[in-house]
Amino acid sequence: MAKTDKDILTTAETAKILGVSTRTAQLLIEGGTIPSWKTPGGHRRVYRTDVMTIIEGRQKNARRDGHRPSAMIVIIGSEERLGTYRQLFAATGEFTIEAFSDVLAALVAIGSLHPHAIIVDVQPDGPDRTPLLHSLAANPAVAGSRILVVGAQPDLSGDPARSVIVATAEDARDSILATLVEEGQDAPAEIEEGVPVALNEGERLLALERAGLLDTEPEDAFDRLTWLASQMLDTPVALMTLLTPSRQWFKSRVGLDLAETPRSWAFCNHTIMQREVFAVEDLAQDPRFADNPAVAGDPRFRFYAGAPVLDEDGFVVGSLCVIDHAPRKLDQRGAQIIATLAAIASDELRLRAMNRRMRGQGRGADAVAGRTVRHASAAADQPS
């Protein structure tokens, strides 16, 4: 049967179906992940069936290599260049970055972070990064991490250290996002159409489960933060939200009787898609939110500002936000307050995860000690 126009897609149409940027789709096509051909005019085209095969065949396992899932990206480069990466990754919902100009500090951090990827930014007149790349390749703590080299010195062209060389910081980001499409991070079916989700939403939801906060009792550690947010920004409503596939549940709330809403109502859907403060001066004037039931009807919210709350692996499990019934602007001080309070909430999550690990190690040590005592006792009871 002949293919119709609907069966043939442009790069932009492919990107829309996969839910990625046009640049990411271009990398997938040019790299051969999605079969393609060129028109007489030199434009790439792909068959819809090939795109759907990728979607349908996505694996739902967390990581291919057995390492724990991570949303951390470690970036090593000069201070001047690190600013570029901070801007690039601040606008992505998939990853949190740790940036280092000091190689030793980066290597110390890498051992505990188990990052999804490591980006080494190389400048022609900069230091030789070949020893660093060999060190990373031999480090078992990052055996499951992708290593990307941005730019290249002449002596890096033959480097065997399983690194991939790309031209720009943008190419590094897009290459990492493209791997999420290949590995398959399908959004759960319960998420309503139109709700923005990250490519690794499945891993984010697993991180939310690991945090152990859903449907738990109020806690002072978080209630103090929402109270402070409401007081310091003079807003009637302040919330710490957690986003499941179908719900926006409030771990802590000030000025709101509801314990949860449908996820499709959540302004925080947009907050968790970035790493900086997200603010809307007038929700009623923003086409993304004008028809939201909480805006169009009671309680008729108008202003929103929130910052993401992260777990130890860099996943956004929710947000800390403030809401007002009247339009208003968020100044730099207000943004810093929200970001700081969200960071404190994130630190609390990391501390709890550390305590859980320590308790688990303690139980393991107690079990080993118990077995040793029993074996020693049994040996003592044996006749000589």
pLDDT band at 219 (very low <50, low <70, confident <90, very high): very high
Q: Which residue has the higher pLDDT, 377 or 153?
A: 153
Question: 27-31, 43-47, 269-273, 319-323: lowest mean pLDDT where?
Answer: 27-31
Residue bearing the bigger pLDDT, 155 or 60: 155
Q: For residue 191, give every residue at least 6 positions away whose Cβ sits within 8 Å of its Cβ, in sequence order, or none.
A: 197, 201, 245, 246, 263
**Mean pLDDT of the region 178-194:** 70
Q: What is the maximum alpha-carbon separation in the chain?
A: 91
Q: What is the mean pLDDT of residues 204-213?
A: 89
List, as one string, the DSSP characters of 250-316: EEEEES---SEEEGGG-THHHHTTSSS-EEES-GGGSTTTTT-HHHHSTT---EEEEEEEE-TTS-E
For residue 64, name the pLDDT band (cuts at 50, 70, 90).
Answer: very low
Class level of CATH domain 201-356: alpha beta
For 321-331, letters b (16+ CB in 10 Å) and e give bbbbeeebebe
Which pLDDT value is given to residue 62?
38
CATH class of the 72-183 domain in this structure = alpha beta
Task: Please tell me the distance from the alpha carbon of residue 337 to that of residue 131, in angstroms, as a whole number.
Answer: 41
Binned at pLDDT 50, 70 and 90, residue 296 comes out as very high
Cα 249 from Cα 263, distance rounded (Å): 8
5-56 belongs to CATH 1.20.1560.10: no
Mean pLDDT of all residues in 128-142 = 84
pTM comes to 0.76
pLDDT one-digit tens code per residue, 35-49: 888 888 888 899 888
Crossing angle (nearest 10°) for helices 11-18 and 22-30: 110
Do 201-356 and 72-183 fall under one CATH topology? no
Residue with tokens 């309680």: 299
**What is the share, in percent, of the chain residues with pLDDT greater than 90?**
50
Question: So what's the pLDDT on residue 374?
Answer: 56
pLDDT of residue 152: 72
- pLDDT at res. 87: 92
Given a cut of 60, is residue 181 above it in pLDDT? yes
* pLDDT value, residue 19: 56
Range name among 13-27, 206-220, 263-277, 311-325 with the lowest pLDDT average: 13-27
Residues 280/274, Cβ–Cβ less than 8 Å: no
pLDDT at 361: 62
Q: Where are the domains of the chain?
A: 5-56, 72-183, 201-356
Predicted pLDDT at 58: 43
Assess whether pLDDT exceeds 50 at residue 63. no
pLDDT at 225: 98
For residue 143, what pLDDT is reported? Answer: 82
pLDDT-based confidence at residue 113 (cuts at 50, 70, 90)? confident
Overall average pLDDT of the 69-83 stretch: 93
Q: Is the pLDDT of residue 220 over 90?
A: yes
pLDDT, one tens digit per residue, over 317-373 is: 999 999 999 999 999 999 999 999 999 999 999 999 888 877 766 655 555 455 554
